[in-house]
Amino acid sequence: MELKKQITDLIDQSKVNNIEFQKVKVAEQQSRCEIDKLNSAIGEIMEEAAVKTRQEVDSLKKLYNSNLEKLISECSMLEIVRLTFSFNVIECVCLLIKYI
C-alpha cells in the first residue's frame, strides 16, 4: 500500500512538474516574442533616426552652400569695387601727372 501511495504521489508530482514546465515554456515563448517586437521597434527607431539625421545634414549642407555662395558673391562685389576704386585712383594720378 505504501509503495502504491509513493507511486501515486510521484505521478501527481510529475503532473505538477509537467504543468509548471509547460507554463515556463509558454512564458519563455512570450518573452522571445516580446524581445522580437522590441528588436523590431528599435530597428525602426534607428532607421527613422538615420533618415532624420540624413535630412538634417542635407538641410545644413544646403544652408552652408547658400551662405557660401552669398559670401563669394559679396567678395566678388568687393573685388569689383576695389578694382574700380584702384582704376579711378590710377586715372586721377595720371590726370594729375598730365597737368603737372
For residues 82 and 70, what is the distance between their CA atoms, to the nearest angstrom?
A: 18
Q: Give the pLDDT of residue 98.
A: 83
Query: What would the mean pLDDT of 16-24 be, rounded to a whole number?
Result: 97
pLDDT band of 85, cuts 50, 70, 90? very high
Residue with cell 578694382: 83
- Per domain, the residue ranges of the chain are 1-74
The confidence score (pLDDT) of residue 95 equals: 85
The rounded mean pLDDT for the chain is 95
pLDDT at res. 99: 80
What percent of the chain has pLDDT above 90?
89
Distance CA 21, CA 51 (A): 45
Q: Is the pTM above the cut of 0.75?
A: no
The string over 47-76, giving b where at least 16 C-beta atoms fall within 10 Å of a residue's C-beta and e elsewhere, is eeeeeeeeeeeeeeeeeeeeeeeeeeeeee
